[in-house]
Amino acid sequence: MSETPAITTRDLAKTYKDVRALDGVSLNLAPNRIYGLLGRNGAGKTTLMSILTGQNFADRGTAEIFGHTPFEHDPTLARLCFIRESQKYPDDFKVRQAFSAAAIFFENWNEQLAQDLVKAFNLPLNRRIKKLSRGQLSAVGVIIGMASRAEITFFDEPYLGLDAVARQIFYDRLVEDFAQHPRTIVLSSHLIDEVANLLEHVIVIDQGRIIIDSEAEDLQGAAVTVTGSAQKVEEFIAGYPVIHRDALGSLASISIRARLTAEQRARAQILGLELSPVSLQQLVVRSTLSSQSDREQTTERQAIK
Amino acid sequence: MSRIMKVARMQLINKWTFIGIPLIVLAGSFLFTLAVWYLVRRGGGEGTLYGGGAQAPMWYFLALGIQALTLTFPFAMAMSVSRRSFYLGTLALFGGCAMVLAVFYYLMGLLEEATGGWGVDGRFFALQWIAENNWLTQILFYFMLTVLLFMVGFYAATLYMRWRTTGVLVFTIGLGLALLGTVALITLTESWPEVGRWLAGWTAAGVTALGAGLAVLLAGSSYLTLRKATI
Amino acid sequence: MIDDSKPIFMQISELIENDIISGTLPEESQVPSTNEFAAFYRINPATAAKGINRLVEEGLLYKKRGIGMFVAQGAPAKLRSSRREHFAKQFVTPLTAEAAKLGIEMDELIAMIKSTSAG
C-alpha cells in the first residue's frame, strides 16, 4: 500500500521497574479500519496506547503517527483521541463541562452525536464527574471518543461498569458512525467475543509481546476443536499445529490450527469425531497460554493436578 | 485558535475556580477584617490597625497551582494537548489572573488611603512597606507574589507527577535540610544581628526582583520536569 | 446468524445466496446496503462490503450507480447449479458415513430418504 500508515511502531520497548510492559513491539496499522488490541489485563495494551498518543515514552524503539513522532507534536496529537480506562477529570468538572472541553480541542467534534449518546446512555449532564458511577464514567469516555471523530481514536476497555444494554448501544453506535465517518479505531478489550465481529484486524499482546497480528477473517474458522475417542482424534490431527489439549478418560478434545475442507469434515464424521469452531476469544486465550514459557506451563499443570 | 489559548479556555470552563472563589475568599477576609476593626474601635482600641487577610487569595493560588496540575494535566493529555501547550496555556492564564489581582490590590490600596483606612485607620491592602513605593513597583510586587505562590504549588505538583510521593518527599526533606543548615550556620557563627540588618535592608523593589527570579527558576524547572512526566 | 465457523464476509455472502435461492431476494430486487448489513449483524461495514463484493465478482449481484446493489438476472439458477456440485461432498458423504457407522444398509437408507421426503 502506498498510503501513509496511520500507526507504525518499530521495536518498541518499555519497562516499569521490574515489569516488562512492552518488549519489541513492531506494528503497522492502515488508516480507516477497526483494529482490536486484545490481551489480558496488564498485557501492555494501555502502555502501548499511551506511547502512541505521546502520553508516555518508550525506552527503546520508535512510534509514528501518520509518519510523525507524536511526542510533544501538537499537529499530530490533534488527530488523536485517547481516553484511558482510568481517565482523570478535573475535580470540579461536571459532565457537561468535560464535553465543552472536548469540543474546544477536537476539531471534528460532533455535538449532535454527543447529545444523542448522552440520551442513549442516560447520562446526567449536570452531575459532577467525581460523583458518577463506574459505568457512567466509562460512558463519558466513550462519548468523548466517539464524538471527537478523531482520525485515530483509541478506546481503552471502554465498557467497564457498563451493563449489557449500554455495551450494545456502544457497539451499535460505533458501527453506525464508523460507516458514515470512516476513521482508524483501536479498540482495546479483554471481552473479545463481544467485539470480535466489529474488528477487521486483530492484534493480541501478551506480556508486552505481540503474539497475534492478523486479519480477523484469517482467524475466523482458522482453528477447530476435534472431540472424540483419543486414539481417533490423534489420528485425525496428525500434522496440524496443536493449540490446546484436553483429555477425559479415553476422550480427547484437541484444538488445532486448521481450515478443514469438506472432505476432511466428512472424514471426521466417518471417524465419529465432533468438530466445533474455535471462537476468537478461545483462540486468543489458547494462544496466550501457549505463549507462556514451558516452565510456567508445567507449574500450571502440576497445580491443576 | 492555538492550542495554547485552548488550554487557557479549558482552565476557564469552570469560572468559579479561577474567578469566583478567589473573589469570595478576598471579599470574605476583607469583610471579616473590617468587622474586627470596627469592634476594636468600639472597644476603644487606638493606633493604626493591620490585617493580613489580603494574602488569602494568594494562598488560594498555591492550591490552584497544585490542582491545575494533578487533575487538569491528565485531562489535558486526554484532550490530545502537548505538555508544552498545557504548560504555556496554564501559565499564561495564571499570569493574566495574577496581573488582574495585582492591579486590583493597587487600586484598593489607593481607595484605602483615600478613605482614611476605611474610616477606621485600618491597613488591609496598602501595607506601608509596599504602599510607599511607586505604582509600578506595587503592582509588580503583588503580581510577583501571586505568581511565586502559584509556581511553588505548580512545581511541587510537577514533582509529584514525575516522581510521585518520592519526588515530593525528597524535595521537602532537601529543602528542610537546607533551611536547617542555614539557620545552624548563622547561629554557630553568631551572625544573627548582621542577618537581621541585612533583611531589614531589602526594599520592595529588591524583594520583587528576588521573588521574580525565584518564580522564573521554578517555572523553568517545572517545565523541564513536566516534559517527562507521565500520568 | 453469524458464528465462528468461518470468516464473516463468507457468511454474509452465504446469507445473501440463501435468500436468492429461496426467492426471498428475487431477480432484480434490491439487496440491503453494506451499512444496513453492518448495523443488523453488528459487524464491521468493510466486512459486509467484502461479502457483497464477492457476489458482485461472481456476477450474482450488480451495482446501479447511486442506488445500490441488485440481484442479477439468472442468479438463482446459477447458484442452484453450483450448489448441486457441492451437494454430494457436503451432505451425501457424511450421510453415508454415519449410516455405515450405525450399520444401516444402503437399501434401508434409500428407503429412509424416500419416506422422509414423502412425509
pLDDT in tens, B115-168: 988 888 888 887 777 878 888 999 999 999 999 999 998 998 898 888 888 888
pLDDT at C5 over 50: yes
Cα(B162)–Cα(A36) distance, integer angstroms: 31
Q: Which of C42, C86, C98 sits opposite A197 (nearest CB)?
A: C42
C-alpha cell at position B137: 513597583
Is the Cβ–Cβ distance between A145 and A153 less than 8 Å? yes
pLDDT at A295 over 50: no
3-state secondary structure at position C105: coil
Task: Tell me, yes or no, if A147 comes closer than 8 A to chain B by beta carbon.
Answer: no
Instruction: Indicate the average pLDDT of chain B.
Output: 88
**Cβ distance of C8 and A217 shorter than 8 Å:** yes
From A141, which residue of chain B is nearest by alpha-carbon distance?
B78
* Residue B86 domain boundaries: 3-227
Q: Which helix (H) or strand (E) holds A188?
A: strand A184-189
ipTM, two decimals? 0.85
Position A210 confidence tier, pLDDT thresholds 50, 70, 90? very high
**Cβ distance of B82 and A74 shorter than 8 Å:** yes
Q: Which residues of C touch A278 (CB under 8 A)?
A: 4
Q: Which residues of C touch A199 (CB under 8 A)?
A: 44
Is the Cβ–Cβ distance between A148 and A81 less than 8 Å? yes
Distance from CA of A168 to the nearest CA of C (A): 9
Regarding whether A211 and A89 lie in a shared domain, the answer is: yes
Distance from CA of A268 to the nearest CA of C (A): 9
Q: Does A1 reside within a domain?
A: no
Contacts of A304 (CB under 8 A, 6+ apart): none
Instruction: Give residue A271's pLDDT.
Output: 84
Mutating which of B9, B15, B70, B77 best tests the A interface, going by the most A Cβ atoms within 10 A? B77
Distance from CA of C116 to the nearest CA of A (A): 22
Q: Tell me whether residue B224 is exposed, middle or buried, using C-beta atoms within 10 angstroms of its C-beta: 0 to 12, 13 to 18, 19 or more.
A: exposed
Position A305 confidence tier, pLDDT thresholds 50, 70, 90? very low
C-alpha cell at position A154: 483509541
Regarding whether A285 and A231 lie in a shared domain, the answer is: yes
Q: Which of B74, B81, B227 sits opposite A105 (nearest CB)?
A: B81
Cα(A252)–Cα(A274) distance, integer angstroms: 11
Task: Tell me, yes or no, if A235 comes closer than 8 A to chain C by beta carbon.
Answer: no
High-pLDDT (> 90) share of chain A, %: 67
Regarding whether A232 and A95 lie in a shared domain, the answer is: no
From A79, which residue of chain B is nearest by alpha-carbon distance?
B80
**What is the DSSP code string of chain B?**
--HHHHHHHHHTSSHIIIIIHHHHHHHHHHHHHHHHHHHHHHTT--S-EE--GGGHHHHHHHHHHHHHHHTHHHHHHHTT--HHHHHHHHHHHHHHHHHHHHHHHHHHHHHHHHTTIIIIIEESS--HHHHTS-HHHHHHHHHHHHHHHHHHHHHHHHHHHHHHHHHHHHHHHHHHHHHHHHHHHHHHTT-HHHHHHHHHT--HHHHHHHHHHHHHHHHHHHHHHHHT---
Q: How many domains does chain A have?
A: 2
Residues in chain B: 231
Residue A241: CATH number of its domain: 3.30.70
What is the dotted CATH code of the domain comprising C8-75? Answer: 1.10.10.10
Task: Tell me which of A168, A190, A219 is where a domain ends.
Answer: A219
DSSP code of residue A43: S
Cα(B226)–Cα(B83) distance, integer angstroms: 7
Q: Does A44 reside within a domain?
A: yes
Q: Are strands A223-229 and A251-257 parallel, antiparallel or unpaired?
A: antiparallel
- How confident is the model over C18-71, as pLDDT tens digits? 999 999 999 999 999 998 999 888 899 999 999 999 999 999 999 999 899 999
Instruction: Indicate the average pLDDT of chain A.
Output: 90
**Cβ distance of A216 and C8 shorter than 8 Å:** yes
**What is the DSSP code string of A61-98?**
EEEEETTB--TT-HHHHTTEEEE-TT----TT-BHHHH
Task: Tell me, yes or no, if C94 comes closer than 8 A to chain A by beta carbon.
Answer: yes
Q: Which residues of B touch A150 (CB under 8 A)?
A: 80
Q: Does A2 reside within a domain?
A: no
- Where exactly are the structural domains of chain C? 8-75, 85-118
pLDDT at A303 over 70: no
Is the Cβ–Cβ distance between A219 and A280 less than 8 Å? yes
Q: Which residues of A touch C98 (CB under 8 A)?
A: 269
Q: Which of A33, A176, A269 sits opposite C97 (nearest CB)?
A: A269
Regarding whether A163 and A244 lie in a shared domain, the answer is: no
Mutating which of A177, A255, A270, A278 best tests the C interface, going by the most C Cβ atoms within 10 A? A270
- How confident is the model over B84-115, as pLDDT tens digits? 999 999 999 989 989 998 999 899 989 988 99
Regarding whether A202 and A230 lie in a shared domain, the answer is: no
Q: In chain A, count H helices and then E strands.
A: 12, 13
Residue A185: CATH number of its domain: 3.40.50.300
Cα(B63)–Cα(B57) distance, integer angstroms: 10
Cα(C114)–Cα(C119) distance, integer angstroms: 9
Distance from CA of A88 to the nearest CA of B (A): 6
Distance from CA of A212 to the nearest CA of C (A): 17
The more confident residue out of A144 and C97 is A144
pLDDT at A292 over 80: no
- How confident is the model over A238-262, as pLDDT tens digits? 899 898 888 888 899 999 988 888 7
Cross-strand partners of A251: A229, A248
Mutating which of A105, A144, A154, A156 best tests the B interface, going by the most B Cβ atoms within 10 A? A105
Regarding whether A162 and A26 lie in a shared domain, the answer is: yes
Q: Tell me whether residue C103 is exposed, middle or buried, using C-beta atoms within 10 angstroms of its C-beta: 0 to 12, 13 to 18, 19 or more.
A: exposed
Task: Tell me, yes or no, if A103 comes closer than 8 A to chain B by beta carbon.
Answer: no
Task: Tell me which of A153, A188, A219 is where a domain ends.
Answer: A219
Instruction: Give residue B14's pLDDT.
Output: 81
Position A1 confidence tier, pLDDT thresholds 50, 70, 90? very low
* Residue A35 domain boundaries: 7-219
Cα(A118)–Cα(A125) distance, integer angstroms: 8
Cα(A13)–Cα(A20) distance, integer angstroms: 8
Is the Cβ–Cβ distance between A225 and A255 less than 8 Å? yes
Q: How many domains does chain B have?
A: 1
Regarding whether A211 and A230 lie in a shared domain, the answer is: no
Position A97 confidence tier, pLDDT thresholds 50, 70, 90? very high
- How confident is the model over C70-81, as pLDDT tens digits? 999 999 999 999
Q: Which of A199, A263, A277 sits opposite C89 (nearest CB)?
A: A263
Q: Which of A180, A197, A272 sits opposite C2 (nearest CB)?
A: A197
Cα(C21)–Cα(C80) distance, integer angstroms: 7
Q: Which residues of A83-103 are buried (b: 16+ CB within 10 A; e: fewer)?
A: bbbebbbbebbbbbbbbbbbb
Task: Tell me, yes or no, if A50 comes closer than 8 A to chain B by beta carbon.
Answer: yes
pLDDT at C119 over 80: no
Could you give phi then psi for residue B66, rounded to 5 degrees? -70, -45
Task: Tell me, yes or no, if A164 comes closer than 8 A to chain C by beta carbon.
Answer: no
Regarding whether A200 and A58 lie in a shared domain, the answer is: yes
Distance from CA of B198 to the nearest CA of A (A): 44
pLDDT at A200 over 90: yes
Regarding whether A279 and A207 lie in a shared domain, the answer is: no
